[in-house]
Amino acid sequence: MASEARSDLAPRRRIVFGEADVSDFDETNDLPVESMPLRMGPSHPAMHGTIRIELEVEGEKIKTSDIQIGYLHRCFEKECESATWTQVFPYTDRLNYVSPMLNNVGYALAVEKLLDIDKKIPERAQYIRVIVGEVSRVADHLTCLGASAMELGAFTVFFYLIKAREWLWELLEEISGARLTHSYVRIGGVVADMPDGWASRLLDVLGKARTALGDADKLLTNNKIFRDRMDGVGIIAKEDAAGWGLTGPVARSTGLAYDVRKDHPYLVYDRFDFDVPVGTTGDNFDRYAVRMEEIFQSMRILEQALDKIPAGPILIDDVRVALPAKRETYNTIEAMIAHFKLIMDGIHVPPGEVYSFTEGGNGELGFYLVSDGTGRPWKCRVRPPCFANLAILDKVLPGLFIADVVPTFGMINMIGGECDR
Amino acid sequence: MAAPTEPQELVTVIIDGKEHKVPKGTNLLEVCRSVGSDVPYFCYHKGLSSPAVCRQCLVDVKGAPKPVPSCYTAVADKMEVTTNSPKILDIRRQMLEFTLLNHPIDCPICDKAGECSLQKHYFDWDGKLARNEGIKVRKAKVVDLGKHIVLDQERCILCTRCIRVCDEVAKQSELTMAYRGSHEVLTTAPGHRLDNPYSLNTVDVCPVGALTSKDFRFARRAWELSSVPSVCPGCATGCNIEIHATRGKIHRLVPRENLAVNKFWMCDEGRFEYKAVHENRLLLATMGGKRAGLDVAVAESARLLREAVAKDPGKVGVVFSAMATNEDTHALVRLALDGLKIGRAYLGGKPSGWSDKILVSSDKNPNTVGVERIVPPPLRPLKELASDVASGAVTALLVLGNETLTLDKSKLSALVVLSSHQGLLVEAAHVALPIATWAESHGSFTNRDGRVQQIHAAFPPRGEGMPAWRAAALLGSKLSVDLAYASAAEVFADASARYPFLKELAWATPSKPVQLRFGDSRG
């Protein structure tokens, strides 16, 4: 219908919300610009993670935002106090449930430091910890990239990357017995050695994952739709990253080259050659690019580790820390007592406190533990990386459009299990 | 028992490089442990003599040609002691290796597992796997040693604590060691049994699971039990005990150290006091022997008492119980004597029994002294009650306790019984209200020496049961007697302001049950 015809109609009704001042109206767009509350979550189809974001929008523009977390709170820290030191492992699986191995390793290292056995962990165990940890990191980043791409409409990419993640998780299932909740690491080492042929299967999978990543790269990196929604959106300044305590890919996207593996090497990370990719602008695309590159760097570490891994035991030789072999337990009173005490009382960790931190999937994963000399943690506090990373969202979101929430939140990669504990 | 040394002059000893001033002649093992240098032991026991047979507590004393057993050494001036040198740690480990050499692999089926000294010391001081592949020496597994005790000779580590308990505490030498070397066993003389009134103390002192109580055998794993400090209700001695219970059921009573009362011991009879807590209980209020709602029963008791008192308070009787706590007794005094002005008070309780010069009193009630001090005289003996009822001197009764009495009910206009157990009197009562037992209440007992000792509830009262002081308060609220007590602590505070013997006593916060798995080894 021609526009002239419309001029014949009665003047269009002006919609007034509440007690809005007439001067609030933008005459050119004829849109009401009075702010409106908008609640995203806790269940939202385009957000992976149970979280509620309370937005105040003016039209499509976000004026303020309020991040409300806690929907996945499970009293993790309190629960640890009634579990033996070893029984905490299954709980850590459920922190960042996309990369449980990294949590297992981080917790084990903290307890080992408290026990003062961190220098006595068999080398093979340390290599295996690096390997399963890096496999987990790759899986973590694949999930983040795949899911975020899907939320922006790139469903194919999601399938490619999640397929690659599934190959990796099948390998982790093979080594630990569980696809997701591995509980594979033990204080003093790991529970089982790599199965026969596991290393070569891992190399095969890495090759296939590279192909999948190449496909995803072709589909995304120079894709106009994808770039439009990522470039220049959700910019975080380098100073803010440092000031807000951001770590991991989110911090590195701003140019802050902080990686615990490089800056405070643990396990045997100082023996591997790998780079820490950093971004320049700190926008969503940088976070995407940093994660993409980190996957390749993790693969580099994996290849070197599989190449260098020595033979030897996988668990410390100390019956006060690690369970003796079943053959010993059933046939000697010494091992029987050790088994009994470890199971019923728990490992006797000397009184003291420790803060131990590792590079988790989302950044610095810290464990602050206090022991009172009994077989249970007196206090177990977690520094979840995505808790700090998420906090800056309140600062980033205002000024963006509603549609920007999805990629920005996606690239922060909040994991409820870890953030809410 | 080792002759206690009078604390005389202080001497200076150096333990692991640190100087300490201690009374001359103190036991070196005790000194080491008190200053934080942990020295393990099996055969030593604070309440027994030291034979120094287990060799776990060896320490280095400067100048001595070889390590000395600290449990057998008195401190002397300028003594320099090392408890943790590599040599000493090695000796400790080697002694444990010997001890474990023939020890059976019994932990999964052993009653002591979880509170076993051998497990604890192995984990703390050894931690090395077995080196021998030889076959262990087999000994007798289930030896019926006495009325309450089963012996497993394979588990025995030959510390002789049980022998000394019989010799020094029960004063009946019944146990001994026989044979030599790895064939040495604990046994009784041929044809004799371990049968003294203190035999179960051998189970407590046994550092391993060699001596087990028939009563507790395979009943519960030790770590499942929760412990509450209490006082034995078995006689007027008031031995300090721990109640070990789980899920509202007591599984054993064990003695708790109190040097002024029972030292480390208790009699076998006292240990079985817990059985009554779970047997033949009155759990719901009854009226005329039939189940009635608690509210209805309380209202009916109040009505009966009000009418009886209105008629002639001098012909109403109240029966106190020497089994009840000071708090229950005081609340009943406030209700019956102060409030209702009831004229005749009687004292009930268990009849007297045997006694000895060690721990057992002939008075089998835990609180006779307390009740006698709280209830204003005259406090008539219970045996007068039946004739008083028959003669018409008493026409209505309020009874606390589970008395075995046969009264001529036709002569009573009201018989209100507050009882924890079923019985003749409960069946006969117009109204019976369920009362908590000693194991379910907070309160205090006064023992034969006038020592007031607090007891703690191991679990809440079963059924509709409540402490007697609460029942008194409930009746009080219906009878316009102001007894607004909310806790046993409040009753105690009220009582201690009134009776000189309770003055200046502090009421400790009620202990909550502590699960034994979180405690240290009791071995």
Q: Is residue B26 located within the same domain as residue B105? A: no
Q: Choose one of B218, B245, B274: the last residue of a domain.
A: B218
- pLDDT for A3: 39
| CATH code assigned at B77 | 3.10.20.740
Q: Is residue B349 located within the same domain as residue B416? A: yes
Distance in Å, alpha carbon of A326 to nearest chain B alpha carbon = 12
Q: What is the DSSP letter of B236?
A: T
Query: Which chain B residue's Cα is nearest to A372?
Result: B518
B122 touches A: beta carbon within 8 Å = yes
Distance in Å, alpha carbon of B103 to nearest chain A alpha carbon = 7
pLDDT range class, residue B230, cuts 50, 70, 90 = very high
pLDDT at B297 over 70: yes
User: A340, A343, A374, A378: best mutation site toward chain B, by most B Cβ within 10 Å?
Assistant: A340
Distance in Å, alpha carbon of B109 to nearest chain A alpha carbon = 12
Q: What is the mean pLDDT of residues B338-352?
A: 89
- B130 and A335: CB-CB below 8 Å? yes
Q: Is residue B61 located within the same domain as residue B144? A: no
pLDDT at A40 over 90: no
Within 13 Å of residue B108, how many CA atoms lie on the same side as its CB? 9
CATH topology of domain A76-420: Cytochrome-c3 Hydrogenase; chain B (1.10.645)
Nearest to B129 among A332, A340, A341 (CB): A332
- B127 and A319: CB-CB below 8 Å? yes
pLDDT range class, residue A220, cuts 50, 70, 90 = confident
Q: Is residue B349 located within the same domain as residue B485? A: yes
Q: What is the mean pLDDT of residues B414-432?
A: 91
- pLDDT for A205: 93
Domain that holds residue B119: 100-218
Query: Which chain B residue's Cα is nearest to A345?
Result: B517
- pLDDT for A32: 59
Query: Which chain B residue's Cα is nearest to A335?
Result: B129
- pLDDT for A11: 40
Q: Is residue B386 located within the same domain as residue B421? A: yes
A344 touches B: beta carbon within 8 Å = yes
Sequence-distant (≥ 6) Cβ neighbours of residue A6 within 8 angstroms = none
- A337 and B119: CB-CB below 8 Å? yes
B114 touches A: beta carbon within 8 Å = yes
Query: Which chain B residue's Cα is nearest to A317?
Result: B128
- pLDDT for B9: 81
pLDDT at B5 over 70: no
Q: Looking at the domain assignment, is residue B269 inside a domain?
A: no
Residues of chain A found within 8 Å of residue B113, distances taken between Cβ atoms = 340, 344
d(CA B265, CA B358): 10
- pLDDT for B517: 66
Q: What is the DSSP letter of B522?
A: -
Residues of chain A found within 8 Å of residue B118, distances taken between Cβ atoms = 337
- pLDDT for B207: 92
Distances (CA, A) of A97 to A52, A101, A134, A183, A416: 20, 9, 15, 11, 9
pLDDT at B522 over 70: no
Q: Mean of the per-residue pLDDT values for chain A?
A: 86
pLDDT range class, residue A9, cuts 50, 70, 90 = very low
pLDDT range class, residue A29, cuts 50, 70, 90 = low
- pLDDT for A22: 47
pLDDT at B3 over 60: no
- pLDDT for A6: 39
Q: Mean of the per-residue pLDDT values for chain B?
A: 89
- A340 and B119: CB-CB below 8 Å? yes
- pLDDT for B491: 93
Q: Choose one of B218, B251, B273: the last residue of a domain.
A: B218
- pLDDT for B7: 53
Query: What does the CA dihedral B243, B248, B249, B250 come to, rounded to 10 degrees?
Result: 10
- pLDDT for B92: 92
Look up tokens 């934080």; give the residue. B36
Distance in Å, alpha carbon of A117 to nearest chain B alpha carbon = 15
Q: What is the mean pLDDT of residues A233-241?
A: 89
Q: Is residue B37 located within the same domain as residue B111? A: no
Query: Which chain A residue's Cα is nearest to B224?
Result: A344
Query: Which chain B residue's Cα is nearest to A84?
Result: B518
CB A189 within 8 A of CB A121: yes
- B105 and A330: CB-CB below 8 Å? yes
Q: What are the sequence ranges of the domains in chain A? A: 76-420
- pLDDT for A195: 92
CB A294 within 8 A of CB A277: yes
Q: Which long-range contacts (CB under 8 A, 24 or more apart) does B392-397 make?
A: B392/B315, B393/B315, B393/B344, B394/B315, B394/B316, B394/B317, B394/B344, B395/B308, B395/B311, B395/B312, B395/B315, B395/B316, B396/B304, B396/B305, B396/B308, B396/B309, B396/B315, B396/B316, B396/B317, B397/B316, B397/B317, B397/B318, B397/B319
- B113 and A348: CB-CB below 8 Å? no
A338 touches B: beta carbon within 8 Å = yes
Query: Which chain A residue's Cα is nearest to B106?
Result: A333
| CATH code assigned at B186 | 3.30.70.20
- A333 and B113: CB-CB below 8 Å? no
Q: Is residue B40 located within the same domain as residue B187? A: no
Q: Looking at the domain assignment, is residue B263 inside a domain?
A: no
- pLDDT for B518: 55
A-B C-beta contacts closer than 8 Å: 58
Q: Is residue B163 located within the same domain as residue B295? A: no
Of A409, A318, A416, A336, the closest CA to residue A55 belongs to A409
Q: At what angle do helices A198-220 and A155-176 cross, to 10 degrees?
A: 170
pLDDT range class, residue A19, cuts 50, 70, 90 = very low
pLDDT range class, residue B523, cuts 50, 70, 90 = very low
Query: Which chain A residue's Cα is nearest to B130?
Result: A334
Q: Give A50-72 pLDDT, tens digit per residue.
A: 888 898 888 788 888 998 888 88
Would you call A417 exposed, middle or buried from its count of C-beta atoms within 10 A (0-12, 13-18, 19+)? Answer: buried
Q: Is residue B176 located within the same domain as residue B213? A: yes
B500 touches A: beta carbon within 8 Å = no
Least confident piece of the model among A142-151, A166-175, B507-516: B507-516
B514 touches A: beta carbon within 8 Å = no
Q: Which helix (H) or strand (E) holds A166?
A: helix A155-176
DSSP states along B333-370: IIIIIIIS---EEEEE-PPP----SSS--S---TTHHH
Q: Choose one of B187, B203, B218: the last residue of a domain.
A: B218
B126 touches A: beta carbon within 8 Å = yes
- pLDDT for A5: 39
Q: Give B395-411 pLDDT, tens digit per residue.
A: 899 999 888 887 778 88
Q: Three-state DSSP class for B428? A: helix
Q: Is residue B317 located within the same domain as residue B213? A: no
Distance in Å, alpha carbon of A372 to nearest chain B alpha carbon = 12
- pLDDT for A376: 87
Whole-model pTM: value is 0.82
Nearest to A336 among B105, B126, B223 (CB): B105
Q: Is residue B105 located within the same domain as residue B36? A: no
Q: Give A108-141 pLDDT, tens digit per residue.
A: 999 999 999 988 899 999 999 999 999 999 999 9
A318 touches B: beta carbon within 8 Å = yes
- B119 and A348: CB-CB below 8 Å? no
- pLDDT for A282: 87
Nearest to A333 among B103, B120, B124 (CB): B103
- pLDDT for A7: 40
Q: What is the mean pLDDT of residues A208-235?
A: 88
- A320 and B518: CB-CB below 8 Å? no
pLDDT at A1 over 50: no
A334 touches B: beta carbon within 8 Å = yes
Q: What is the mean pLDDT of residues B200-224?
A: 91
A326 touches B: beta carbon within 8 Å = no
A120 touches B: beta carbon within 8 Å = no
pLDDT at B4 over 70: no
Residues of chain B found within 8 Å of residue A334, distances taken between Cβ atoms = 100, 122, 126, 128-130
Query: Which chain B residue's Cα is nearest to A338?
Result: B123
Distance in Å, alpha carbon of A325 to nearest chain B alpha carbon = 10
A31 touches B: beta carbon within 8 Å = no
B104 touches A: beta carbon within 8 Å = yes
Query: What does the CA dihedral A216, A218, A221, A225 come to, rounded to 10 degrees?
Result: -90
Structure token pair of residue A391: 């906090």
Q: What is the mean pLDDT of residues A249-264?
A: 91
| CATH code assigned at B299 | 3.40.50.740
Residues of chain A found within 8 Å of residue B105, distances taken between Cβ atoms = 330-333, 336
Of B272, B226, B222, the closest CA to residue B246 belongs to B226
Q: Is residue B76 located within the same domain as residue B207? A: no
pLDDT at A12 over 60: no
Query: How many domains does one find in chain B?
Result: 3
Q: What is the mean pLDDT of residues B296-317?
A: 91
